[in-house]
Homo-oligomer: A and B are copies of this chain.
Amino acid sequence: MNDLFLRACRREPVERPPVWMMRQAGRYLPEYRAVRRRADFLTMVGTPELAVEVTLQPVDLIGVDAAIIFSDILVIPQAMGMALSVEEGTGPRFHHPLRHPADFERLRPVVPEEGLGYVLEALRLARRELAGRVPLIGFAGAPWTLMSYMVEGQGSKSFTRVKRLLVEDPRRAHRLLAQLATAVGRFLAAQVKAGAQAVQLFDSWASALGPRDFREFALPYLAEAARIAGEAGAPVIAFAPGAGWALEEIAAATGAAVIGIDWQTDAAEAGRRLGESRVALQGNLDPCWLYAPPETIRARTHQMLAAFGGHGHIANLGHGILPDIPVAHARAFVDAVKEWRPR
């Protein structure tokens, strides 16, 4: 039984840092693409057997030290009644984004065991199939990121629709964010009950907010979701890419056991800034560096590991692995972590 990941989450001594990759169950793997040819993305997310099949692939094929359940952050808005499509290339899209007050009123409350039972079932199944080989991670999108998608309808460059809502109708925004924080926190707690041994909160669009807005509209709800999730007893990982300036505030407000570090943040500086916070750090190799020749990947991975210092560190990329990375390069990253030893 490989429990390196859980020990690192708790900042216990480790022989070497554990390693996994965000989006490790993904298109860079031919075996993933083979499943994907049989079923579209949302069918895979919605069918526990398929979700578990791809969840386990990187454990078997790449040798990562943790599995993360294959799912999507938008399952929560979907469970609230918003119809969703995911098309290759263009990304996810809500058919009817929140545009009018009535759209907000129509949203249904989320009862994880009902609307999201298929995710919980996938976790139970994955935990059984892993049989203790490596720990299993659950996840959810953070309230600000979910609201952004729900208002914009899809990915955005400037997030003007949702940011316009923040200044034009802040009370409506706060109401939805509070509703989402409860839903997200309870969903994560239910994931722990179903078998997740750690849960990660993704505030993927934190970068759309300046400090004032981040502190008003993102951080308190990320913290509330983390608080509710934390009551289930498993380590919580908080990851807000693009908000590297806020690491200390995120650590303090969320009380998360692990803080995710994005690739834009200097690893050594993150370590210095969070040294007092008694959190573990996760990250942060630039995913684009996996295009480099394996020897370069190895050297940069070792530099990154040294910068984090070896203990209380979970090796990862600073963002999801890109779909056109050669499998051999993903393996070079994982192998480079496995051969390295802290001083």
Contacts and interface: CB of A to CB of B under 8 A. Distances in A.
A167 B298 CA distance: 13
Interface stretch (A50-58, A62-70, A143-151, A158-166): A158-166
For A211, A213, A266, the residue with the greatest tally of chain B CB atoms inside 10 Å of its CB is A211
Contacts of A160: 288, 291, 322, 324
Nearest to A262: B210
A286 interface: yes
B291 A322 contact: no
A296 interface: yes
Interface residues of A, number: 32
A266 B210 CA distance: 8
Given A158-B322, A167-B296, A264 B288 contact: no
A160 B318 CA distance: 14
Contact of A245 (B213, B244, B289): B244
A157 interface: yes
A263 B324 CA distance: 33
B213 A167 contact: no
Contact of A286 (B213, B264, B296): B213
Interface of A: 155, 157-160, 163-164, 166-168, 207, 209-213, 244-245, 263-266, 286, 288-289, 291-293, 296, 318, 322, 324
